[in-house]
Amino acid sequence: MTVPQFEQAGNETPRGTTTPVVGLSEPQFRRHTPQDEEHRRSSGPTDISFSSLDPTSQPKLVQYPEQVTANGKLKRSFNTSYYGKHPWLEYSAQDDYVYCFYCTHFGGTPTLPGQRYRSRPFIDVGVRRWKDISNFLEKHTRGDRHKDSAVSWTKFKAIQTKELQPIVSVLMTDIDNEIKENREHVKALLKVTALLGRLGTAFRGHNETESSINKRNFVETCNLLAEYSPTLFNKLQRRYGHYTSHEYQNDLISVINGVLINKVPIPKRECEEFFYMQKVALISIALMFFLGVADDFFDLKWRYKLIFPTLSVLPLLTAYYIHIGLTTIVMPKFFRGFFGPNLDLGIFYYVYMGVLAVFCTNAINIYAGVNGVEVGQSIIIACSICIFNLVELTGELSRYHYFSLYFMLPYIATSLGLLKLNWYPAKFFVGDTFCYYSGVTFAVVGILGHFSKTLLLFFFPQVFNFLLSVPQLFRLVPCPRHRLPTLNKETGFLETSKVKCKVASLGPLGRPVLWIASKLRLISYLEMEDSVVEFSNMTLINTVLSILGPMREDNLTKTLLLIQVIGSAVAFVIRYFLVTFFY
């Protein structure tokens, strides 16, 4: 082999002697170890770059060494035209090998699949089979490692030349496109894996090389898809055997298996839980609906209105006990010194939920009697619950708020149509049936949705109406069968309905209760002759008429619904702002 001669003496000087290579049939490599700069200086070629700060070594010689065959004939040698086509190329005149500047100093991945450590062409080992060097260089340029290394080198140069932003923006676009292609490619392989697993067909054959005609289903399916997908075709052709190897198939199967084991059973269990909860909720709603029908037809006594709702919510409480079972409540700050931060109520928590269901059922029923009030207040409560559920969807109990929405959204949709027919002048009357149905629906979502206390906040007008009605409901003062406002036929306005009774019939607590209520302007109270007193019925509807005076029925309904909206607004303020003072 001839000794290399340089064009200009003093510019480059050979640092070693070349060694003849005889009988080359494969690309010839000379190993070097780029562990660090010092190690490379001592064991590798010394006339190429040692670090990323060095320039690319591209010496231009008058004559390059020629390879010698077994019979002593000279063959091809390196050509400087390769520099123009591949600016990353480094040539070692010392050893007559070529290397890749980008991959050596900016390569991120230690080895490619199927390669041994320190056996990477153009990085750990040089290449110099000049007969096929053009093909080797083109193949290396198309490789994934070289592309990534070129991107890293471009970023490095951009930082040095203070042109990072415009260059990086272009590079990041290329990287994003590459990531997108990789995702689509892996997604296609996963779909093929899932399809073959679902069909129960064989994945692979004994010989799956590129020239084999018996690759079996996985490789053949991928090749078929590649004919219609340029991205998949390029990926498979660029590194054949890596993306379809047995190891890669095992990884794909493991990924799908992990998803099936870790992800699918949890939603399945949750679906079974909510399916059961949905059934018992519908049973409770149906039982209460039939109770409302019975009340409309047979005019049930008050004791039955307390007993039957309790029985109808037993399936609901059973579902809560089986699937939820939490009976611990968070104590307010001023009680934590006595009971601690949490208190387990045990069976009393179920008593509380039973009472809540009975209250919700009857609270709608006793706050009624004006066209549009029953349906209107129910729609406002349902909308408030939906808003609360939507706010809480990002919390830990989001699945229970989804459960609540599944009930509330259809309820609102159907009730809006009913409100149109029930609005003054009404064409359709709802009766006790709708009141019971609405009340138990709210109780169901409040109990199974874990927000029973917040539900009571949305019932602020109903709670006030119930507390105002307690003296009449518990017979401290006389209570007629119906306490609806009366219609003045001359004016067409609704006025407060009143009760007349003897003072002696009031009982020991009757007169003090009436006196306090009258002073608070909650009722109209008048003492008449012969020890007779007259007072308005103790309901929120009559209180509004007593304070604002007689009004048309539609205006009264609007006023009551406005109070309901204000009550919901106050509930949200308490729930999200004032609650920090107590909890």
DSSP helix/strand/coil, 62: strand
Q: Residue 503 to residues 165, 456, 511: CA-CA distances in angstroms? A: 91, 36, 8
Q: Please, what is the average pLDDT of the chain?
A: 80
pLDDT one-digit tens code per residue, 172-231:
677 777 778 778 878 888 888 888 877 777 777 666 676 676 667 777 788 777 777 777
Percent pLDDT > 90 in the chain is: 29
158-162, 336-340, 441-445: segment of lowest average pLDDT: 158-162
Q: When comparing pLDDT for 16 and 459, which is higher?
A: 459
The dihedral of CA 197, 199, 201, 203: what is its sign?
A: negative
> What was the pLDDT predicted at 32?
35
Banded pLDDT at 13 (limits 50, 70, 90): very low
pLDDT one-digit tens code per residue, 353-373:
889 988 998 899 889 889 999
> What was the pLDDT predicted at 36?
43
Q: Which residue has the tokens 């302007």?
A: 521
Residues whose CB falls within 8 Å of the CB of residue 231, separated by 6 or more in sequence, listed in order? 181, 184, 185
Residue 390 has pLDDT above 90, yes or no: yes
Residue 384 has pLDDT above 60, yes or no: yes
Q: For the stretch 83-98, what's the b/e string if a residue is b when 16 or more beta carbons lie within 10 angstroms of its beta carbon?
A: beebebbbbbbbbbbb
532-536 vs 498-502, strand pairing mode: antiparallel
> What was the pLDDT predicted at 74?
61
Residue 268 has pLDDT above 80, yes or no: no
Q: Which residue has the tokens 């080797």?
A: 136
Banded pLDDT at 10 (limits 50, 70, 90): very low
Burial class (CB in 10 A: 0-12, 13-18, 19+), 253: middle
- Cα 325 from Cα 317, distance rounded (Å): 9
Answer yes or no: are the C-beta atoms of 536 and 523 closer than 8 Å: yes
Residue 380 has pLDDT above 80, yes or no: yes
> What was the pLDDT predicted at 22?
34
Which of left, alpha, beta for 382 (phi over 0: left; psi -120 to 50: alpha)? alpha
Banded pLDDT at 437 (limits 50, 70, 90): very high
> What was the pLDDT predicted at 498?
92
* Cis geometry, peptide bond prior to residue 512 (ω within 30 degrees of 0): no
- Cα 130 from Cα 27, distance rounded (Å): 9
The partner residues of 493 in beta bridges, in order of sequence, read 488
- Cα 48 from Cα 456, distance rounded (Å): 80
Q: When comparing pLDDT for 324 and 310, which is higher?
A: 310
- Cα 293 from Cα 311, distance rounded (Å): 16
| Section 256-277 average pLDDT | 64
pLDDT one-digit tens code per residue, 48-71:
888 878 888 888 887 788 766 666
173-182, 375-384, 392-401: segment of lowest average pLDDT: 173-182
pLDDT one-digit tens code per residue, 99-148:
999 888 887 655 444 444 456 788 878 887 787 888 888 888 888 888 88
The enclosing H or E element of 19 equals none
| Section 408-428 average pLDDT | 93
Residue 469 has pLDDT above 90, yes or no: yes
Top-confidence range, 17-26, 146-155, 318-327, 381-390: 381-390
> What was the pLDDT predicted at 162?
56
Burial class (CB in 10 A: 0-12, 13-18, 19+), 568: buried
Q: Report helix, strand and coil shares of the chain as percent, to nearest 5.
A: 60, 10, 35
The partner residues of 77 in beta bridges, in order of sequence, read 66
> What was the pLDDT predicted at 110?
53
Residue 535 has pLDDT above 70, yes or no: yes
Q: For the stretch 478-488, what's the b/e string if a residue is b when 16 or more beta carbons lie within 10 angstroms of its beta carbon?
A: bbeeebebeee
Q: When comparing pLDDT for 477 and 325, which is higher?
A: 477
What are the E-state strand segments in 291-404? Answer: 328-330, 342-344
Answer yes or no: are the C-beta atoms of 63 and 4 closer than 8 Å: yes
The partner residues of 501 in beta bridges, in order of sequence, read 533
Q: Two tokens at 194?
A: 């899932």
Q: pTM above 0.85?
A: no
Residues whose CB falls within 8 Å of the CB of residue 287, separated by 6 or more in sequence, listed in order? 311, 312, 315
Residues whose CB falls within 8 Å of the CB of residue 531, separated by 6 or more in sequence, listed in order? 502, 503, 504
Which of left, alpha, beta for 531 (phi over 0: left; psi -120 to 50: alpha)? left
Banded pLDDT at 31 (limits 50, 70, 90): very low
State the DSSP code for 522: S
CA angle 504, 508, 512 (to 5 degrees): 100
Percent pLDDT > 70 in the chain is: 79
Banded pLDDT at 385 (limits 50, 70, 90): very high
- Using only C-alpha atoms, the chain has a radius of gyration, in whole angstroms, of 43
Residue 9 has pLDDT above 70, yes or no: no
The partner residues of 90 in beta bridges, in order of sequence, read 99
Q: Which residue has the tokens 């005149």?
A: 93
The enclosing H or E element of 53 equals none
- Cα 133 from Cα 97, distance rounded (Å): 11
- Cα 95 from Cα 92, distance rounded (Å): 6
> What was the pLDDT predicted at 121?
82
| Section 165-173 average pLDDT | 61
Answer yes or no: are the C-beta atoms of 266 and 437 closer than 8 Å: no
Nearest CA-CA partner of 376 in 555, 552, 564: 564
Q: Two tokens at 270?
A: 């949750």
How far apart, in Å, do the first and last CA atoms of the chain sit? Answer: 89
- Report the amino acid identity of residue 433: T
Residue 411 has pLDDT above 90, yes or no: yes
Q: When comparing pLDDT for 112 and 388, which is higher?
A: 388
**Chain Cα centroid distance, residue 523:** 52
User: What is the DSSP annotation of 26-47?
Assistant: S----B---SSHHHHHHHS-SS
Written in H, E and C, the secondary structure of 269-296 is: HHHHHHHHHHHHHHHHHHHHHHHHHHHH
The partner residues of 9 in beta bridges, in order of sequence, read 12
The enclosing H or E element of 532 equals strand 532-536
> What was the pLDDT predicted at 487?
92
DSSP helix/strand/coil, 499: strand
Q: When comparing pLDDT for 564 and 1, which is higher?
A: 564
Q: When comparing pLDDT for 244 and 372, which is higher?
A: 372
Residue 401 has pLDDT above 60, yes or no: yes
Nearest CA-CA partner of 512 in 496, 535, 540: 535
Instruction: Give the residue extent of every domain in the chain.
Output: 5-160, 164-262, 268-454, 459-583
